[in-house]
Amino acid sequence: MTKSSRRRTLAAVSAASVALLALAGCSSSSSGSGGSGSITLTEMDYYGSAPQNSQIQGVLTQCGNQVGVKVVHQEAPRAQLVPKLLQDAAARTLPDLMLVDNPDLQQLASTGGLVSLSANGLSTTGLYPSIISAGQYQGQTYGIAPGVNDLALYYNKDLFTKAGLSAPTTWAQLSADAKTLTSGSTKGIAFSAAATEEGSFQFEPFFWSAGADLKTLDSPQAVQALTLWQSLVSGGYASKSVVDWTQSDVEAQFQAGNAAMMVNGPWQLPLLDAAKGLNFGVVSIPVPAAGQPSVSPLGGEVWSVGHSSSDREQKAVAVVKCLLTPSMSAEWSKDAGYIPSDEASAQQLATTDPQLAPFIAEVGTAKARTAELGTQYPKVSTALWDAIQQALAGGTSPQAALSQAQGQAGSGS
């Protein structure tokens, strides 16, 4: 190789590297759609623990086979799922299938990145009305739940029998029982007051049963509910760590015998049933005074489809259709510890499954979190969990914490 030709090669290489860098750095990546052949759909959810995350791939594979596509399951941490999906929406690379928490659905639909399921012929007839409304945005249905859940009070039967107590139904009984059952390393009650949606979700049954509503976070009823939680923690009947616990942590505490009662959902039943030597019962969340209705928040994730190419969208809608057939949603609900979102099958299940009966009894009156506030819910929920943490961990009075939250929620909306 002569000198000049070598130099030219060198120059060519550096020029090529410039081009490569420019391509890699500045061009937007084009998504490789696998051509005709077999289609692979991506699915994303936030199931980070059993039983949901161990069961989801099974139903996806079944429905994928039925439609003739491969479905790949991906998961993101709960707090990061929505930000991740919003970024995907910006880059027009939303997953084909998403299983999102129902209070987040309207916000996600407001980006315009979701496929209308009602326009694609999916029906919601027969489902619980509150879960239907949680999946709608501006008159269209964007998300449909295969199963729903709510909250109830689990109690350790052995500890209750030993203390000669029966399951509480009012707040006064709840406080008294929690006090009696606290001894040594065992606390009376465990719940999650985490600084995530889980904290608000767990507080809402107390908040709503007291008669408060999310538009006025600092109402006397709301203060009453937060005072109850604060007194449980400051009295030492609930661990100070509740501000750190997720609902899975709460389940672990209850299962280990560190808490005599816990607030939790039906998805914990498969784990608790499998635990040896644990004898527990489930009742509705106690209410301020006997005879009042117990109002639980409606939980559960909804299936939604992201915009892509029309044939991918069609396949994805077909998969969702399959996932929502009564038999499939019954199977999923059973595996994951959910209540079928179909009202008739849920009622049917209540007669045969005594453990699920308290959950099913409450789900009929359970409130969708976005019912009052729509896309504003996530913001108000943030203010609410901040107030809960202020009161439980910071010693702020419930009145002051909730007034501040109301200011935070009301500002700049």
Partner 1 sequence: MASMLSEKAPAAIAAGAAPRRRGRRTAWRAAGFVVPVWVYILCFYVYPLVSNVKMGFQNYSVASFYTGSAPFIGFANYTAVFRDPQFMSIVVDTVLFTIGSLAFQFGIGMGLAVFFRRVFPLNGVLRSLLLVPWLLPLVVSGTVWRWMMYNDSGVINYTLLHLHLIGQPVPWLASTNMSLVAVIIVNIWVGIPFNMVILYGGLQALPEQVFEAAALDGANAWQRFTRITLPMLRPVILVVLTLGLIYTVKVFDVIMIVTQGGPANSSQTLTTYAYDLSFNQLMFGQGAAVGNILILVAVVFAGIYLRAVRDRDGEGRR
Residues that bind partner 1 (CB under 8 A): 3, 7, 10-11, 14-15, 17-18, 21-22, 25-26, 79-80, 82-83, 86-87, 89-90, 107, 110-113, 185, 195, 239-244, 258, 378-379, 382, 386, 389-390, 392-396, 404, 407-408, 412
Peptide bond into 77 cis (omega under 30): no
CB of 244 to partner 1, least distance (A): 5
Nearer to partner 1, 330 or 384 (CB): 384
Nearest residue to 56 (alpha-carbon basis) of 358, 271, 357, 336: 336
Closer by beta carbon to partner 1, 112 or else 291: 112
Cα 333 to Cα 52: distance, rounded to the nearest angstrom: 9
Q: How far is the CB of 322 from partner 1 (least distance, A)?
A: 28
Beta bridge partners of 223: none
Q: Between 66 and 241, whose beta carbon lies closer to partner 1? A: 241
- Of the pair 249, 343, the CB lying nearest partner 1 is at 249
**Helix ranges (DSSP H) in 110-219:** 129-134, 157-162, 171-181, 197-209
Q: To the nearest whole angstrom, how small is the minimum distance from the Cβ of residue 378 to partner 1?
A: 7
Q: Which is nearer to partner 1, 140 or 404 (CB)?
A: 404
User: What minimum distance in Å lies between the beta carbon of 21 and partner 1?
Assistant: 5
* 216-242: b (≥16 Cβ within 10 Å) or e: ebbbebbbbbbbbbbbbbeeebbbeeb
Answer positive or negative: Cα dihedral of 396, 397, 398, 400. Answer: negative
Q: Which is nearer to partner 1, 329 or 382 (CB)?
A: 382
How many angstroms separate the CA atoms of 172 and 170, rounded?
A: 5
Integer Cα distance of 119 and 138 in angstroms: 13
Report, in Å, the least distance between residue 316 CB and partner 1.
Answer: 18
